[in-house]
Amino acid sequence: MRLWGVVAVCMVGRVSAMEPRTGRVAPLTKLVAKGLLSDKFLYEYRKNKEQYSQGAQELIGDGCRIIAREPELWRLLPATCIATLSRQESFVRSVAHHPKENLLASATWDKTVNIYNTNTGEAVVSLAGHSKNINAVAYHPEGHRLASGGMDSTIKVWDARVHKEITTIQTRRLAVLSLAYHPQGRHLASGNMDGTAELWDVETKKSVATLTGHQNTVDSIAYCPDGYRLASGSEDCTIRLWDIPTGKPGLIFTGHDLGIESVTYRPGSNQVASGSKDATIKLWDARQKDAVATFNEHTEFVSAVIFHPSGDFLASCSGDSTVKLWDMRMGKSFATYVQKKFIVSMAFHPDGSRLAAAPWDDPITIWSPLGGMNTTDELFNALSKDKNAPTLFDALKHYAQWLNPLSWRPGKQ
């Protein structure tokens, strides 16, 4: 399994900046109005314009990307692998990141759930109890519980602090293929091999609602950020939306030519992304039936899609052995990572700074963005060593003190 960091692209030079949405050059005053640059920055720039005329005068934050503009010069900082997790004994089917700690859980086909420390790459514990292959894992939003489900038709709930089994739910379904906790932890949803999705009360081990309508296996499920809808993707080529907690059916999305492998909700919105065996990714609006966008750069089936916590980027992995990062506003990919084998599952760190990717039968790997640099100073110090651009990055470092916090990365320096 691999963890990838979002690539930082720097385009440096003239006194202008590229608008993320349109790609057009925007004046400084417009950037100030948008809150990307402070008034103090604009004042200091105008006052010392001649002194810093050769430096880049803008830095636009875009989640984990930094964009500055200069004709004919691009800088690309490749993502850096920071950890390769201890080799698992069997195929990995699913991964989930702990919502608060540097821990990653994996569902494997050797009947165990493995938990890793993503900082050291070391295995923390292996949880045994399932009698057949495990297909799915999901952390409770608070992180104190971990659920797993598999081919033995059971869902096991584990105490994530002491790594002990708490309870087992006998689903009486053919198999459990996917799991998702409600955003407030009220119940647990499962996608099943018999074409149903089900809502479970973990405390009573009873079904709250059975969602029927799919004509084939339900391979993926995802809750809306507010918890009032559930999306289910099926081998019958459709995505269905369900009202929560009543379980009433809502919109049905059709448009994929082959089965749905993965569905995910975009944070802070009503949009759903789906990855299909037809090698396409589609973006849907929960308020209308037709897809609002289709991404078709993959050449083989799309095995998983997952949004960056900011909602600005989507990560996808495919049978073509690539992981792609997509800019949702531009509607195209801005980074592609080629792998030796195809990735079956991915998970972002809660702060969006790392991406874990799990190959079918290779070790899980963890990647960090910005070439492994996590602060503004680290980035500028590294780039200022480039003999082609010392003046530029001295200027950028000088101006960094006037950038508003969100112009770097959410939650970062």
223: domain CATH number?
2.130.10.10
Inter-residue contact 171 to 136 (CB < 8 Å): no
Residues 297 and 345 in one domain: yes
Residues 165 and 67 in one domain: no
Residues 270 and 123 in one domain: yes
Residues 260 and 216 in one domain: yes
Residues 191 and 107 in one domain: yes
Instruction: Report the distance separating Cα 134 and Cα 137, nearest Å.
Output: 8
> 142 lies in which domain range?
82-363
Task: For the chain, 413 residues long, give each residue's pLDDT as a single digit of tens.
Answer: 444 333 333 322 223 333 333 333 344 444 445 444 445 545 555 555 444 333 333 333 332 233 333 222 223 345 567 788 876 667 899 999 999 999 999 999 999 999 999 888 889 999 999 999 999 999 999 999 999 999 999 999 999 999 999 999 999 999 999 999 999 998 999 999 999 999 999 999 999 999 999 999 999 999 999 999 999 999 999 999 999 988 999 999 999 999 999 999 999 899 999 999 999 999 999 888 889 999 999 999 999 999 988 888 899 999 998 888 887 777 778 777 777 888 999 999 988 878 999 988 788 888 765 444 444 444 445 444 444 433 334 444 444 443 333 333 333 33
Task: List Cα–Cα distances, 177 to 8, 71, 105, 114, in angstroms.
Answer: 35, 50, 16, 17
Query: Cβ–Cβ contacts within 10 Å for residue 100, how many?
Result: 12
Residues 71 and 103 in one domain: no
Q: Look up the pTM and report it.
A: 0.74
Residues 258 and 328 in one domain: yes
Rg of the chain on CA atoms, in Å:
22
| Domain presence at residue 343 | yes
Count structural domains, the chain.
2
